[in-house]
Amino acid sequence: MYFFARLSALIVAVALLNGCEREDAPALDQQLYVWQRQWTPAHEAALRDSRVDFSTLRVLALQAFPKAGWSRARIDPALLKRDGRPLIAVIRLDGQLKSLDRDEVIVQIQQVLGDWQGQGLNLSGVEIDHDAGNARLPAYREFLTHLRAVLPASIALSITALPAWLESPELPALLSTVDSSVLQVHAVSDPRLGLFDPDQARQWTRAWSRITSKPFYLALPAYGVALLSGRGALVVESEVPIEQGGKRRELLADPQQLSRLGNELRNDPPVHLAGLIWFRLPLASDRRAWSLTTLSAVARGDALDSRLTLKLSVQNDLYDISLSNQGNLDSAWPERLTLVVQGCDGADALAGYALQQSPDLLTFTRLRDGQIPAGGQRAVGWARCAHIDQGGSNVYP
């Protein structure tokens, strides 16, 4: 009897322990960077549609560059006030600044905070984004210590952090000055090596969790860039198009890759990891960002799938030919489309595709890379034909 009583007590204790462990591992918070320097009407729909999946907005507020000086982002305060989510004002201090004028920087930050609070915004924190080299970390720590002392206790202080800082013995002291840190694991290496390396990101995350005693977040990519080479220089094109000839190489963060990493971190979160922050809030016009549909699916951990279907609309023998993506994963433009046709007396491809025509077949071949967002569609061409057999047509990835 005594044995069974002890056994029952042990089973209950193990069950309680397992329950406590599950309770101590809350779901990772999901946040968004809003990084546009000048807001547009497209922000309204993007913010509205992102509310369900993202708890907090980290909004680019102020930048300082060598020679160019200070520049404020032109936010829409009425839109942010109506949105109501907690806001973290991001202050970008360019890493090429020779030094930080402590008093000047703090005055600029206080002016932004005062303006935001005066407009009724739900300001909860400040994030300093400064790519300081390891040799400058002691001076950066002194600056952050002073900034923390003058900020109101209700305003949390965080910093964007670089994996290279892991090599510095100054890192623990630096992290002790702030309430949290944001480890950036994308666009931190030579761009020719790629935008993001999931294996490196895992290693850096585990290493960071062993050093910090404060909550930290991972900044993850949901965008792409183009590398333009010519005249001996490498230029990175992101949101703003650059008029330059030469070779162009597109780099895009892979949603499937990021989804796997996110699921791993949910299932086995490193100690002190509080959440994921996605760069950046996608606008309808942002051709180098994932669609919000894909971003939200990745943030939730949903299974990803792109479902391309051929769409034909006809009026008086004139067919408009397009592709529709009915999945939740953005899709690359397919390499080729073939349409079985009868009695065509005219056809053409639209920008991005070339057309080859024979009496019973139209072949559209991709000329450059592009994306069809989840839930979106893309026109490919047109044809004036007696008949197009949609069942006999094919889409080749």
State mean pLDDT over 13-23: 42
* 3-state DSSP assignment of residue 41: coil
Q: Which of 35, 29, 375 is nearest to 238 (CA)?
A: 35
Contact, 58 vs 90, CB < 8 A?
Answer: yes
State mean pLDDT over 128-132: 97
Q: CA 312, CA 345: separation in Å to the nearest integer?
A: 17
* 3-state DSSP assignment of residue 253: coil
Confidence grade of residue 332 (pLDDT, cut at 50, 70, 90)? very high
Residue 8: the pLDDT is 45
H helix or E strand, kind and range, residue 183: strand 180-184
Q: Which of 189, 262, 162, 192 is nearest to 222 (CA)?
A: 262
Contact, 220 vs 187, CB < 8 A?
Answer: no
Residue 230: the pLDDT is 63
CB atoms closer than 10 angstroms to residue 123: 22
For the cut 90, the answer to whether the pLDDT of residue 16 exceeds it is no
Domains observed in the chain: 27-300 (3.20.20.80), 308-396 (2.60.40)
Tell whether pTM > 0.95: no
Task: Burial-class residue 222 by CB neighbours within 10 Å (0-12, 13-18, 19+).
Answer: buried
For the cut 70, the answer to whether the pLDDT of residue 234 exceeds it is no
Contact, 168 vs 137, CB < 8 A?
Answer: yes
Query: What digits encode the pLDDT tens for the residues 263-309?
Result: 999 999 999 999 999 999 999 988 889 999 999 999 999 999 999 99
Query: What digits encode the pLDDT tens for the residues 72-114?
Result: 999 999 999 999 999 999 999 999 898 999 999 999 999 999 9
Q: With the C-alpha atoms ordered 38, 44, 49, 51, is the resulting torsion angle positive or negative?
A: positive
